[in-house]
Structure 1
Amino acid sequence: MRKIRSKLLLAFLILVLLGNVAAFFVYWSSSKITSEYSKSFRSFLLLNDISTEAKTMYEKVNAFAIEKDQAFAKGYAKSKRKMSSYDQALLKDAGLHAAIPSIEKYQYMMRTLINESDATMNHVKKGKIKEYAASVKEVRTVSSYIQEQTMTLLDDELSEYQVLYQSLQKRHQTYALFTLCLFTLSIGIALWMAYIIAGGISRPIVHLSRSAKEVSEGNFDGPNLHVSSKDEISVLNHAFERMRREMKVMIEEMKQKAALDQKIKDMKLKTLQNQMNPHFLFNTLNIVSRMAYLESADATSRLIQSVSTLMRYSLSPLSASVTLEQEVKVVKEYFHIQETRFSDRITCKTTIDESCLSVHIPSLTLQPLVENAFIHGVEPKEEGGLVELSIDRDDGFVMIRIRDNGLGISDQEKKRLLSQEEEDHSDTRSKGHSTGIGLRNVMSRLRLFYGVQDALQIDSKPNEGTTIQLTIPIKEERAC
């Protein structure tokens, strides 16, 4: 796998290499032009030094011939060495003067000057006056000729330099144009590489972020990302695609599991609805039997009708929505059964605002609460038991209160009933109920139906009775 860091390092090295190549070419072209200028000026200086040294040699020889001073002899020897070195330098730089046809003749005069000067010094040392006088004259003539020839050579060299200067100017322009092209090419390559590398990194990241946003919004069916590079972005893309597939599968499994759980709960609820408590049926049938024995069939028929209505209603789906009027009708039938059962021991009252009966609530909401008030509240009382159902309207809500004057409940028991833990349907507290639906089952369905947590409140103290209050929001104009 080629890492992003490796790509960036490679791009950096290429850019540095291009920059160094351009810089080296600029240095090379500048050095070459400088070298050409240097060679030309060196030739000028060499010719000037030869002319100056030729004059100096003549002056030293002439002074020695006149004054016979050894200091002039030493000065001559020094000038002679310089003239010899200039001769050697002229030979090395002969290529610079290829256009000067008299260069060899010029070197011959330099050597002649040296020879004639040596001859003059020897004649002076030997005292040959006639000979050294002629030699001095010859030295002066050769020295003067060298100086004149130097001026001629400098003129020729300057003419040649003019041509060289024009050539160097053209080469300088060519080098400058080439350097500009090289820098332009380097910048173009750098920008192209930056675009390729940046695009190879940014484009997949942009697509990946867009897909991540779609996933966060719940869309798991977006198109797959195609990343051609073999780097960390590709690894990230493959990991994201695998995560998206696995999340989609997991969500589908969760949906299937939720649907299965819902089916199981529905089956449990249906099972509870179909499990009429044997104690309730036994007591009710005993009453029916006694009434059939003691009186005419009218009361017996009314009681059987109430039992039939209650049993039929208890088999309706718990998830269904019914009107408050239907719930009140069932509660009244239940009141009739319990009043018949307990006779003067228990009194049932209802205070109903008729304008609120069109409000919808979950099925089997009121009857389990009323039954709970009977079983756990007033049933243990020997006499004076009271269960009251009241329904009225208060500021956009329907207030339903089920009150009893029974034994009441403790704060600990009230907290347990109001908690959101799942109710244990096998609890002994549910024994004696006609439907097996307890108070916490009612609370759970109210929370789901209205989407609130405090739809049901309990106000109770031990031995002071219990009041259960339902606060039902009015969702429709026709309600209340």
Structure 2
Amino acid sequence: MDKIRNFWETLTIKNKIRVFTISVFVALALAVLFDAWVVKLFTKDFNDIMEDNSKGGEIVNAIKRETDAFDEYIRGTGSTDQEAWEKSVRDTEAAINAVPLDYTHLGDTRFAVLQSLRSAYEVYCSKRNQVITDYQSENIYVDKLYDVYNMQKYLSSYAQRFVDFTMQEGNESYRTMLPVITRVPFITAGLSAVLFFAIIQISQMLNSSVTAPVLKLATASRRIANNDFFIDDVVVDNKDELGQMVSAFNKMKFATGEYIKAMEEKREALDQLHVQELENLEIEKQMETMNLELLKSQINPHFLFNTLNVIAGTANLEGAQTTEQMIEALSSLFRYNLKTQAKESILAQELKISRDYMYLQKMRFGDRVQFEVECDVDENKIIVPTFTFQPLLENAIIHGISPRVEGGKVTIRVRQQEDKLLIDVADTGAGMDEETLGRIRAKLEGGEDTPLDEDIVGIGLGNINRRIKGMYEGGRLEIDSVLGEGTTIMMALPLHRIDD
């Protein structure tokens, strides 16, 4: 049993599902074969016995009817005419020939009796026909007539012997099958128990190797969603895609927890410095740097939870390739968020992270989410603020696309206008009413330090607005939205190239 479990743990999820499916089909096939055997036992075998008895009895009856018809026809004492006589002869021939002269089916004794009966009947037919001919020409001989009578008795005795042997062999067959028949209910119960036990065992192994790890991941994800990153590692025995995913999850959890711990320590130190040197310009610059670092560490636990659930579901339904692509995209996203130190980065890198993020969202929402990038500049030579696109995309998904059952489309447009770089992040989501839009515009224009209401558009928009205005002279961020049609975030930045 341990060897079977070890072998089971090394199988991929796809092969585990395949083994379970095959086992169910095998169980069904065995049940069908057993039912077919029972049907054959109770119908075909019994039917063969009854049919043999019936055919033997028909031979006896046919010979008896022909004998009576012959006697009435010769003596002229009954109602038998030429047509009735010929019909009785045809019936007898049909009854004798109805039983196949098959040695395998009849056996030694019945085969010999039937062969003798057919041979005797041929001789009888010859003498009978001669007597009929003499009768019609009125030259009948009594001794020939009595020879036919004697042959009829002989045929009747042979036919009766054939019937007796047939019934005897049928009784022996029935007595042979009787013990099997009495054991059929026990065989059925035993086979059902074995198949049921096998299916239950495979189901339990499938549950322990697929469902249990997914539930552990879900439990850990809920705790991470509550900002508890310092939980015990998720432990599973899997050596398949789920095992790899759990290992990657543990590593990401540990790295994220350590980074957040470091950021908390930095924040505490920064608070102490802020109390001592509140009006010091250098401290204000450090605070801006810390705000940027803190922004990079703001990982949405809800997004992590949902993404990991999508990965787990995909691992159940697809092969390992899709799972690897999702883990790779998620790892790339975390790596960029956690390790990028610069305030600015190449546009191509920001667009790559945007595509990775939207790839995960498409795996989560399916066809409900569409994504498109329209870039009219050389993305490998243009510099933009770091972490500009992802918070806006997250706002578009959470507040725009997600509330709509039919989903929507998110589009990034990048273009040049004279010495300005114009960036639009637009969605065809739920949009917002005039009152909400007015409040958001007022806060963006006022430049208050307090973050925007997360229930409205998320916390990233105000941070990006402050960074753009702080980093670039003349930089601006605008928002436009129509309820039921969507929202567009428009950014205008000075055009910075790598070679400038």
TM-score by length of 2: 0.46
TM-score by length of 1: 0.48
